[in-house]
Chains A and B, each alone.
Chain A
């Protein structure tokens, strides 16, 4: 049906110009709910939090078919279907929908925007109740576990005791891991994809380059920027650096090579001075990202990712002892940002703690982005695993 080349030409759905894209879900709505607050790991108390989320499919009468999808750094609650205003597909529309890997005909899919995000859930751009002004840098540090604590409130609100599965890639995978360790009784299956136990120096380094670009943008103004003067240049550079780390040498060569944006100039001569395609692609990625993302959120979320350590609250044995979930761990051989060796270490520790784990390292050559693009091998594994787990849940 799809060849590797159409996969990479279409790419991920987040900031692409998506031409003629059909979603079997049609237009999907995102809701916002105000939930009881939490105390963050840093000790800050939110009296209440707003959570923006999407649900797809139908919750079964026994409430045993709920799948929580956790988004990555640049994702949001709009997981699948077309956005009512922009018409854009959700970030995981390739894999969430009727008959897809996460099958909305059978499963009840929940995707909330994370705490600290900027797409409807409480974050640095939200108005602080005491002042009526945006939190900005007065927003408390956010941890992956705080995001998960807020998601647990949402699951309570939806009347769900136990999730059939928690699934997510990258930062979403960290949330899935936090779910399995912090709420062991509430997770039947945990599916962390292209993620790790804690960031390596290299991963922190790339995030720091992105943060530094924002912090040194004159318009950042200590985080107190106005709507018409945001540090868009810094954020765009951060996104460009980030995006490079999500691709692979193979995908960049096949997608861009040394192609120019224009092959011929106005005189019909070879356009030697035209920008390389990869340059204009990255500019486009940066420009489209700044329209939908808050620079302060980028700072907070990358910090949350860097700070995450599955074993920050106890020894490996203590943290993993209580885990009740079965695991499907997925990595991609070409992912150099979250290399398979990190997933293997996670798998090793889980197995040594007698947690049932299936591990697959897919050959998909498109780097870290491999879980966001159209990827039949990935979709098959997730589909079959969830089908089997769903069958177990009903028996």
Chain B
């Protein structure tokens, strides 16, 4: 994942928030959040060897498959729920997003942009399933079940009734502000439930400029 995504999430999460990190892996980023933002963090990870690494780091971690749901958590247990690098691996992303809004107030999701120029070019000119920096595995080996563009994600949010309160886009050169659906390889979005839109958050605004034209 683009390092800019981690830096963005660190900025978006206020000190001492309660954070649930879904698909936390070896817990490296969650540990960073705990150390630098002093959050109360908890990870969910399905691989017991990675769970053991989280324990080594002194993190609170729960071994389970996100696909089995988040029934172990009560309503509104967390301020933020993170889905970094896991969103496209979920069989039922809409159900999981709904569930994250049950247990948390705001949700941060990262994903790869399938409408990036190189992806488009590989399909158009080579007639092949694209392999890029942010989609590195061939079709038969990828963990991703779903492929989407930035525009698709916006529509997905609209359909779910959640608001994309903030977004940051990246390619190899860094942050992308101009023509993101064409030029960005990866994006991270901060989602809020519509019912609480307008609710004051401490998150800084204006990072993602609204594009007037989209490709």
Contact surface of A with B, Cβ cutoff 8 Å: 326, 328, 344, 347-348, 351-352, 354, 356-363, 377, 380-381, 384-385, 388, 391
Contacts and interface: CB of A to CB of B under 8 A. Distances in A.
27 contacts: A347-B72, A348-B72, A351-B62, A351-B73, A352-B73, A352-B74, A358-B55, A358-B59, A358-B60, A358-B61, A359-B61, A359-B62, A359-B63, A359-B64, A360-B52, A360-B55, A360-B61, A360-B63, A361-B48, A361-B63, A363-B48, A377-B48, A377-B49, A380-B56, A384-B52, A385-B55, A391-B58
Nearest to A388: B58
Contact of B72 (A352, A363, A384): A352
A196 B99 CA distance: 27
A356 B52 CA distance: 17
A356 B72 contact: no
A384 B56 contact: yes
Interface string B8-49: 000000000000000000000000000000000000000011
A348 B64 CA distance: 11
A363 B51 CA distance: 12
B48 to A, nearest CB: 6
B72 A351 contact: yes
A358 B62 contact: yes
Interface of B: 48-49, 51-52, 54-56, 58-64, 71-74, 77
A179 to B, nearest CB: 20
Nearest to A326: B60
A328 B77 CA distance: 20
Contact of A380 (B52, B58, B71, B77): B52
A322 B178 CA distance: 54
B60 to A, nearest CB: 5
B7 to A, nearest CB: 27
Contacts of A357: 60, 62
By Cβ-Cβ distance, the 6 closest A-B pairs, closest first, are: A388-B58, A348-B72, A384-B56, A351-B72, A360-B51, A359-B62
Contacts of B77: 354
Nearest to B49: A377
Given A344-B64, A352-B74, A388-B55, 11 more contacts: A344-B72, A347-B72, A348-B71, A351-B62, A352-B73, A356-B60, A358-B54, A360-B61, A377-B52, A381-B52, A391-B58
A138 to B, nearest CB: 45
Nearest to B74: A352
A24 B8 CA distance: 51
A388 B62 CA distance: 17
Contacts of B52: 360, 377, 380-381, 384
Contact of B62 (A326, A347, A354): A347
A35 to B, nearest CB: 36
Nearest to B52: A381
Contacts of A391: 58
A347 B64 CA distance: 11
Nearest to B40: A356
A381 B52 CA distance: 6
Contacts of A385: 55
Nearest to A343: B63
A362 B48 CA distance: 6
A317 to B, nearest CB: 11
A360 B71 contact: no
Nearest to A382: B55
Contacts of A360: 48, 51-52, 55, 61, 63
Contacts of B51: 360
A344 B72 CA distance: 8
A64 B51 CA distance: 27
B72 A381 contact: no
Contacts of B54: 358
